[in-house]
Amino acid sequence: MSDVAILRALRTPIAPRSRGLANLSADRLASHALAAAAAGAPRTPDAVVMGNCTGPGGNLGRLAALGAGFGETCVGWGVDAQCGSGMVAVAQAARHVRESGETAAAGGAESASTAPVRTLDGVPFSRAPFAPEGFPDPDMIEAADDLAARRGIGRARQEAFAVRSHELSLAHAAALEGETAPLRRPGDPASAPIPDDGPRSTSPALLRRFRPVRSAPDASVTPGTAARIADGAAALLLAPAAEAAGPHCVVRGDALTGSDPALPGLGPVRAARRALERAGWTWDDVAVIEIVEAFAAQALAALDELGLADPAGDAVDERVNARGGALALGHPWGASGAVVLVRLVHRLLDAPVGSRGVAMCAIGGGMGAAMLLERAA
């Protein structure tokens, strides 16, 4: 089986719901990210796979492929694996490239701003079930609160982790701009590019002012320690490694695993361990680590379990999210798994040849996804 290379990886800016990207649908965001990732490529992608959670339906992959100008022969399809959608889409695209020898583009997109109102028996609901009747199906904030209580992850530690995310994002603003495909306001090509609208100068003292989102006695998750609902898209261009020229990364493995639906935040633990085991890697072999920071409590619980954070303090392995994460940037659900892959690629391209990286995310309903990449040239 031939190696699969990631030739380019870019994302749109990320903005909170109802703000800078509010007028762009999921397929338009996806088309922009795809076109930017494929610009200058030797050939147009033969297939597109795009993840999404809350869009209006239809075939997002095909819509985005046509919208990106890839032509009528480019096939496309969509993936819904909740917050892991973008990462699972890239894994599917890698398999397609490996088996067919074709090129592919993949990623995820979410427009929470334009998501349609969904109803059941005429009653609107904010999210579809993560698990069927008879299984635990906690809301994500409830699940994060419960995980924090069970693992003893207090507010102060959550807030320190959130501050870390913002501080690192601000410190590496130039690197974040380098992973972003400029996007101007619709209908105004002369306007300044829309920036990321998330990272802020903050502090534990400031975050202590927030009240918990839930009123439960053990609630500890606040608006400051939960990633903001956001709009955005990310795309990666994949091809047989033999076609790669210049700096690129190679896909070395992936895993999609199931876990307890009551504790979905721990999903990345099993996925990362399985992917590493299949590849014959250990954490000592890994130079770069990215995890989706949906909630500080969720990310910390997974990092604790993996030995990448100190449960007794605020220390986090310096390899983890070294340029910040979703707590600062925002969490466009169906895109976030692809966004961390974009971050991983760009960090690896700034590292020596042979450097290895892991990206992982938790998925509602009790799943986890992980992907392994290596800097090849």
pLDDT tens digits for 197-228?
999 999 999 999 999 999 998 899 999 999 99
54-82 pLDDT tens trace: 999 999 999 999 999 999 999 999 999 99
Confidence of residue 122 (pLDDT cuts 50, 70, 90): confident
Of the candidates 31, 52, 27, 8, the one whose C-alpha atom is nearest the C-alpha of residue 238 is: 8
Q: Which amino acid is at 171?
A: A
16 contacts 198 by C-beta, under 8 angstroms: yes
Number of Cβ atoms within 10 Å of the Cβ of 66: 17
In this predicted structure, what is the pLDDT of residue 187? 78
Longest dimension (CA), the chain: 58
Q: What is the mean pLDDT of residues 90-109?
A: 98
Please tell me the predicted confidence (pLDDT) of residue 186. Answer: 80
CA–CA separation, 167 vs 321, rounded Å?
11
Mean pLDDT of the chain: 96
Phi then psi for residue 223, to 5 deg, are -60, -25
- Is residue 1 scored above 80 in pLDDT? no
Strand partners for 230: 16
State the distance between the two ends of the chain, measured CA to CA, in whole angstroms: 20
Centroid of chain to Cα 243: 27
Could you tell me the pLDDT band of residue 190, with boundaries at 50, 70 and 90? Answer: confident
Q: Which of 146, 191, 185, 195 is nearest to 295 (CA)?
A: 146
Q: How far apart are CA 223 and CA 68, in angstroms?
A: 35
Residue 324 pLDDT more than 70? yes
Per the CB < 8 A criterion, the answer to whether 147 and 158 are in contact is no
Query: Could you count the other beta carbons within 10 Å of the beta carbon of residue 178?
Result: 12
Q: How far is CA 274 from CA 44, 167, 187, 293, 375, in A?
A: 33, 32, 47, 20, 21
Residue 371 sits at the vertex; the CA angle it makes with 147 and 92, to the nearest 5 degrees, is 115
Q: Is 369 helix (H, G, I), strand (E, B) or coil?
A: strand
In terms of Cα–Cα distance, which of 6, 5, 95 is closest to 342? Answer: 6
Distance, CA of 287 to CA of 223 (rounded, Å) = 31
Specify whether the CB–CB gap between 50 and 60 falls below 8 A.
Answer: yes
Confidence band, pLDDT 50/70/90 cuts, at residue 124: confident
Supply the CATH classification number for the domain 4-118+127-375.
3.40.47.10
Q: In whole angstroms, what is the distance from residue 109 CA to residue 173 CA? A: 22
- Say how far apart CA 331 and CA 347 lie, in whole Å: 20
Q: Name the 3-class secondary structure at 250.
A: strand
Contact between 365 and 352 under an 8 Å Cβ cutoff? The reply is: no
0.95 surpassed by pTM = yes
Interatomic CA distance for residues 33 and 87, integer angstroms: 15
How buried is residue 99: exposed, middle or buried, by Cβ count under 10 Å (0-12/13-18/19+)? exposed
Residues identified as active-site: 83, 331
Is the separation of the CB atoms in 45 and 103 below 8 Å? Answer: yes
pLDDT of residue 121: 85
Q: Are 327 and 257 within 8 A, CB to CB?
A: no
